[in-house]
Structure 1
Amino acid sequence: MKPARPKRTRLRAAAKAAVPSLSDAQVKTVQDRIGHHFKDRQLLVQALTHPSAVASADSVRLSNQRLEFLGDRVLNLLIAERLIERRKTESEGDLAPRLNRFVKKGACAEAFRHFKLQEFIILSDGEIASGGNERESTMGDACEAVIGAVYLDGGLSAARKFVEAGWAHQFSSAPVETRDPKTLLQEWAQGQGLPLPKYHVVNRSGPDHEPLYEIEVQVPPHGEATATGSSKRDAERNAAALLLNTLTGTS
């Protein structure tokens, strides 16, 4: 007969083996904060369950790792969709760094903090003691898992609403370096209900290894501007900045 384990060890083992859960009040609070009420509330519980809170043998079944995997893919799709829809003049090279900024772990953690969900992450005692619910990686993983859970429970439209709400501040406070003059001019035109700015090459001069482009941009009927640059992209940006300054007094 094996000797009985000390009581403390038995209690820890029992706690580790317990199925994670949230109270009805906690579920209601989380749902109200994220704006989605789950048909399958177990998806929400799983999304908020850190791997440390369950035995390793149950990690795949009970923790949020699989939902995190799914949520990461859904988030990338939704952010890419948003960029394609709202950044109509930008190339893949312009869009990629924007995408990376919004899907990185820190951005997910910021969205999670926006909803004030840190206290609802289900963690082991050790993780709680070490401040795990405020750790960026933990919050970021949980946020991706919640996206995955919302997607499974309510579809892509529900996940889109979650992302739009959670990332609203980040969308509106994009750093200046990611908001080039072409983008700003496009947004100004859209805000005025006007067609998108039109660019065309007026002239190209210089040798092949050192070209000079002259580009004109137009936003009828509000005017046009012409500028030069060592590439089409630079010339377009310079022209957009010049016209934007004329139209709004900024660049």
Structure 2
Amino acid sequence: MKKRTSILSLAFTSLLAAALIAGCGTGNQPQAGAGQEQPAGQEQAAGQEGQAGEKKTLIMATSADYKPYEYHDLTSGKDEIVGFDIDIANYIAKELGYEIQITDMDFGGLVPALQTNRADFVMAGMTPTPDRQKNVDFSDIYYEAKNTIVSKKDSNLTKPEQLAGKKIAVQLGSIQEEAAKELEKTVQGLQVTSLNKLGEIVEEVKTGRVDAAIIEDTVAKGFVASNPTLQFTTIESNETNGSAIAFPKGSPHVEKFNEVIKKMQENGEMDKLIQKWFAQ
């Protein structure tokens, strides 16, 4: 009798489970909501709408210490990353039907983030140098700038040759670091220190722990404006340090991003953003 009861109980349980399974169709499966990251390996093609018209999310990696390109703004009472690159990224995302999730990290970690698929693209005032092009793909250049020497006003350090025997600071992994290493070959006794954050670099100059720094002109302008004891001088060069968007090798997004960049340059939107962030 005890054995029969167990058999009846098992049969009832099986019927109940079958009924529950029959009532669960694929239409009741949870879906990623608008603005949420798609599961790994399930990314949708650029420009296509997600299910039920939902937008997709792209991960944008940046180094938010590069005002006015990207930086932390606390004026609204909350920590928000804003800047020239952020506005461009948001414009492109809107045109292509994406949401963007911004990840802040050290500049030196940006290219590795693309190589390990931890980011869909990078915007950080990055120049498409030959070395970087070996590891990632780039969009067309969207803005051009020059390098400067940032130093104390009484230092008389305004030209590369005056840096002989001096210690300078640059951002790790930046085009300015590459420029400094080139200067080491021709400027006798030049010592180069590479640091992660531009704020640290400027502080090193202010305290005299380094004699000068090499920083992009538009960024140097902002730091000097808020630090009146400093000055910056443009380093004359025939080479252009242009900023472009970086992608993992073989990314399907490059062509579509280029189309929007071209559109922004033709319809005046890029000029508006340049005036907004650099003509201050």
After TM superposition, the score normalised by the length of structure 2 is 0.24
Q: Which has the higher strand share?
A: 2
TM-score (norm: length of structure 1): 0.26
Higher relative contact order (CA 8 A, sep 6+): 2
